[in-house]
């Protein structure tokens, strides 16, 4: 990934937070058929240090678990908020006209390798954790135990779990940091006029970035 220094985000807690907030990972692997991409919701764990681990599951019918080359590199991509940036946001447009559109976004690349798991107890614990995490905000959360045990056993027999050992994390927060302060403030104001959540999230993140930059060195 092309990564100019001013877009780099290397803090593990920030990267893990985004991975948890946007858990649908694009898992890219090298199989006998070539490069394969799957889109899988995952659980992000802090341990083992320093980068943590991902856990998830795929359908048993998915050829990934049979075709994956053991020990070969794998890549999990987490796409954060993203939005179009209009040149009209920049005050410098009126001054020089030398502006062009761009796209602001946040993304995390997790590099590592896969280990597949078929243990029923392990799979059951995983789906319970994933379900509880994603149902937590609901007024009446659904639980795995709400379904009949024989049915859950049948469903578990149709999936294969995996652990993704993270060997490295790369974060890119492309949020107009390469523009002068006035243009960045214009981006924040322009995005806050948009109705979509991604635009507002990027505006808030960029505003927080500028606030941090304005702090005294030892604040």
User: For the segment 65-80, what is each residue's pLDDT rounded down to a tens digit?
Assistant: 998 988 899 999 999 9
- The 10s digit of each residue's pLDDT in 80-129 is 999 999 999 998 767 777 789 999 999 999 999 999 999 999 999 999 99
Residue 28 has φ and ψ, to the nearest 5°, of -110, 125
Closest CA to 32 of 79, 81, 67, 7: 67
User: How far apart (Å, rounded) are the C-alpha atoms in residues 128 and 149?
Assistant: 13
At what angle are helices 149-156 and 120-135 packed, to 10 degrees? Answer: 110
The answer to whether 58 and 160 have CB atoms below 8 angstroms apart is: yes
pLDDT given for residue 219 in this prediction? 34
- The 10s digit of each residue's pLDDT in 4-49 is 999 999 999 999 999 999 999 999 998 877 899 999 999 999 999 9
User: How far apart (Å, rounded) are the C-alpha atoms in residues 120 and 155?
Assistant: 10
pLDDT given for residue 217 in this prediction? 39
pLDDT given for residue 95 in this prediction? 75
Does position 215 have pLDDT exceeding 60, yes or no? Answer: no
Does position 142 have pLDDT exceeding 50, yes or no? Answer: yes
CATH architecture of 5-178: Roll (2.30)
pLDDT given for residue 7 in this prediction? 95
- The 10s digit of each residue's pLDDT in 177-213 is 989 899 999 999 999 999 899 999 999 999 988 676 6
Average pLDDT over the chain reads 92
Does position 216 have pLDDT exceeding 60, yes or no? Answer: no
HEC states along 9-30? Answer: ECCHHHHHHHHHHCCEEEEEEE
């Amino acid at each position: 990934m092309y990564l100019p220094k001013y877009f780099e985000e290397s803090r593990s807690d920030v990267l893990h937070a985004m991975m948890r907030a946007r858990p649908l990972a694009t898992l890219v692997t090298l199989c006998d058929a070539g490069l394969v991409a799957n889109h899988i919701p995952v659980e992000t764990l802090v341990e083992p240090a320093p980068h943590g681990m991902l856990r998830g599951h795929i359908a048993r019918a998915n050829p990934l678990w049979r075709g994956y080359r053991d020990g070969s590199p794998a890549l999990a991509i987490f796409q954060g908020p993203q939005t179009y940036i209009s040149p009209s946001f920049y005050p410098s447009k009126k001054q020089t006209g030398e502006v062009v559109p761009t796209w602001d976004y946040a993304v995390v690349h997790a590099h590592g390798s896969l280990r597949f798991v078929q243990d029923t107890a392990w799979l059951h614990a995983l789906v319970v954790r994933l379900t509880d995490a994603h149902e937590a905000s609901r007024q009446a959360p659904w639980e795995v135990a709400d379904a009949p045990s024989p049915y859950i056993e049948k469903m578990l027999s149709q999936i294969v779990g995996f652990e993704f050992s993270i060997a490295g994390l790369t974060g890119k927060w492309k949020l107009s940091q390469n523009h002068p302060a006035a243009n960045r403030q214009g981006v924040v104001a322009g995005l806050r006029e948009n109705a979509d959540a991604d635009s507002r999230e990027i505006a808030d993140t960029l505003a927080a970035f500028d606030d941090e930059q304005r702090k005294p060195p030892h604040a």
